[in-house]
Structure 1
Amino acid sequence: MKRILLLIYISVAWTACLFSQQTVGHILKNFRESASKSVLVVSHRADWRNAPENSLQAIRNCIDMGVDMVEIDLKKTKDGHLILMHDRTIDRTTTGKGKPEDYTLAELRQFRMRNGAGHKTAHQIPTFEEVMILCKGKIMVNVDKGYDYFKDTYSILEKTGTIDQCVMKAGLPYERVKAENGDVLDKMIFMPVVNLHEENAETIIDGYLTHMKPEAFELVFDNDGPDVQRLIKKVRDSGARIFINSLWPELCGGHDDDRAVELRQPDESWGWIIGQGAKLIQTDRPVLLLEYLKSKRLHE
């Protein structure tokens, strides 16, 4: 009987492994196809409403719900480990106090993560390597606050065999990013972040289109005026994918999550973003956005 149960367990685990590999392959295929066929959901700090932000559990939740990409943030410990942490200090999100770089990884493991309500949980701060092992074959990863560790990040991606699953980004001109990262830049998926209201926004866009032709641009704008829409169209017409945040109004010209959910205007929120040709939408409401996209036949 035990032998039969063991064989069943192995069979189920193997099937799950194959399914995960097919899933990330499917996500990558969708990432590179037209936005008119599918839109990808990016979950902000993973599933922070139901688990501590930037925790392994929050990422597992996103994998289970069918999210395409999780957004995470990185810091470095005193002994050189990359960990997931958004703030400059660990005060808000853990039971500890101070800066992560003042602790070794072993010391940070003594603390516990707090949930969105500030309550202590059983979860520990994960390392970036642990995250990529968890995500391998299952989901893409968007490193938001982590540009300072560009080359260290690449080393871990190479070690875990997950280079094609991770998107790095920075709100910097091409010339600086290339000078600071050299050939490593060409080995990764890199997404420039451009605030469309800055005076040099179009110059930054043109620099990347001339020298690099990024697979995607993250575009930030606090209104949806004609010049904003002109620049969005310029990026779209270049063939690059468009990444738009619907987290709060100042990031997407007022077409945010709360407008979709609390005001019950999803077509004026997510629908408007989709109408701009966005391929990726970062949200704090992943389940509801997934449902909306499925209703429009834009997510399988």
Structure 2
Amino acid sequence: MMKTFLVLLIAGFAWVNANAQPNPAPKPRHRFIVIAHRGDHVIYPENTLAAYAEAIKNKADYVEIDLRTTKDSALVSMHDATINRMTGGKGAIKDMTLNEIEQLQVKSRDSLDKTIYRVPTFEQIINLCKDKIYIYIDFKQASAAATYAVLKKYGMEKQVLIYINGIQQLIDWRSAAPDMPLMLSMPNSAKDVEGMKTFINQAKPDLLDGDWKEYTKEMVAEAKGMNLPAWPDAQSKDESAAIWDQAIAKGFTGLQTDHPAALVKYLEEKGLR
């Protein structure tokens, strides 16, 4: 997740202030929101249909996908800008056609896994997820207008939220789809309630993200009082029930996780789900 908002221009802030609206997130299905980071990628390769299907099976509320655009304007999901890490090929997604992308096989971390995994298209993801799980779009490199057109085509406007990585994305989404809920991470300067409020008043996010450790209990309460859900990232090499205990003690009602099945089970056992 990028934190580009330290360099937002005053003119950009003014445009956002004039046009942004407070938009609710999709209607919650549970009291505590579980966001499956790149799908359930501990079991299946990240950002594959199998990883997303596993998140559905395990009752997560959202799958997080990373949206990018091919050379011929197709929308696909992959975290990296290149195919180098996740496939046997090399090159930038933006320089490849959809047909070239579809020939690739996504690597599994399990050397014994002989299943063929592919890079999914946005439409394939929608067909899998619609009415089963919400989609959290980490908006990496795509057109807001083109993405929104696909959402409208499938009637998915109320089943997604968009994570914003830069000022131009924020402007583009507020222009293309003023009612779309947009999630932003706070800048490093927002270290207390006043800093957070300054950022919120300028950027007008609909939801807040970031690392759970960056928030104080008072900041979470203030955001809640402003009707702004804060669903930060818990995923890390140290993610465990101890981390979840500390995050919940701060007042969070949603987390992004690398272990959706385990987090759901934990929440159910705590009576929080």
Structure 1 residue 218: Cα displacement: 1.1
User: Unaligned stretches of 5+ in structure 2?
Assistant: 1-24
2:127 corresponds in structure 1 to 133
Structure 1 residue 116: Cα displacement: 2.9
Equivalent position to 1:30, from 28, 31, 49: 28
Equivalent position to 1:235, from 214, 219, 223: 223
**Structure 2 residue matching 1:41: 3-state secondary structure:** strand
Higher relative contact order (CA 8 A, sep 6+): 2
Structure 1 residue 237: Cα displacement: 1.6
Paired residues for 1:94-133 under 5 Å: 94-117=87-110, 121-133=115-127
Residues 1:171 and 1:140: Cα distance change in structure 2 (over 3 Å)? same
* Aligned counterparts of 1:221 and 1:196: Cα–Cα separation in 2: 13
- Does structure 1 residue 47 correspond to structure 2 residue 40? yes
Contact 1:95 1:120 (C-alpha < 8 Å) held by counterparts: no
1:179 corresponds in structure 2 to 171
* Aligned counterparts of 2:175 and 2:39: Cα–Cα separation in 1: 30
Equivalent position to 2:63, from 70, 75, 87: 70
Count of aligned pairs between the two proteins: 245
* Aligned counterparts of 1:111 and 1:120: Cα–Cα separation in 2: 14
- Does structure 1 residue 87 correspond to structure 2 residue 80? yes
* Aligned counterparts of 2:57 and 2:212: Cα–Cα separation in 1: 31
Give the letter aligned to residue 208 of structure 2.
F
Instruction: Tell me the TM-score normalized by structure 2.
Output: 0.80
- Which structure has the bigger radius of gyration? 1
How far does the alpha carbon of each residue in 1:152-186 deviate from its partner, in whole angstroms, 9 at most, with x for none? Answer: 2111111111111111022556xx65533343342
Instruction: Tell me the TM-score normalized by structure 1.
Output: 0.73
Contact 1:78 1:100 (C-alpha < 8 Å) held by counterparts: yes
Instruction: Give the ranges of 4+ consecutive aligned residues of structure 1 lying more than 6 Å apart after TM superposition.
Output: none
Give the letter aligned to residue 180 of structure 2.
M
Equivalent position to 1:290, from 240, 264, 270: 264
Give the letter aligned to residue 201 of structure 2.
D
1:57 corresponds in structure 2 to 50
- Does structure 1 residue 274 correspond to structure 2 residue 248? yes
- Does structure 1 residue 189 correspond to structure 2 residue 171? no
* Aligned counterparts of 1:45 and 1:213: Cα–Cα separation in 2: 22
Structure 1 residue 207: Cα displacement: 2.2
User: Unaligned stretches of 5+ in structure 1?
Assistant: 1-26, 32-36, 250-255, 261-265
* Aligned counterparts of 2:178 and 2:256: Cα–Cα separation in 1: 24
* Aligned counterparts of 1:148 and 1:105: Cα–Cα separation in 2: 14
Contact 1:113 1:121 (C-alpha < 8 Å) held by counterparts: no
Structure 1 residue 144: Cα displacement: 1.5
1:24 corresponds in structure 2 to none
* Aligned counterparts of 2:101 and 2:141: Cα–Cα separation in 1: 22
Contact 2:87 2:106 (C-alpha < 8 Å) held by counterparts: yes
How far does the alpha carbon of each residue in 1:203-235 deviate from its partner, in whole angstroms, 9 at most, with x for none? Answer: 222224xxx562x211336556xxx44333321
1:168 corresponds in structure 2 to 162
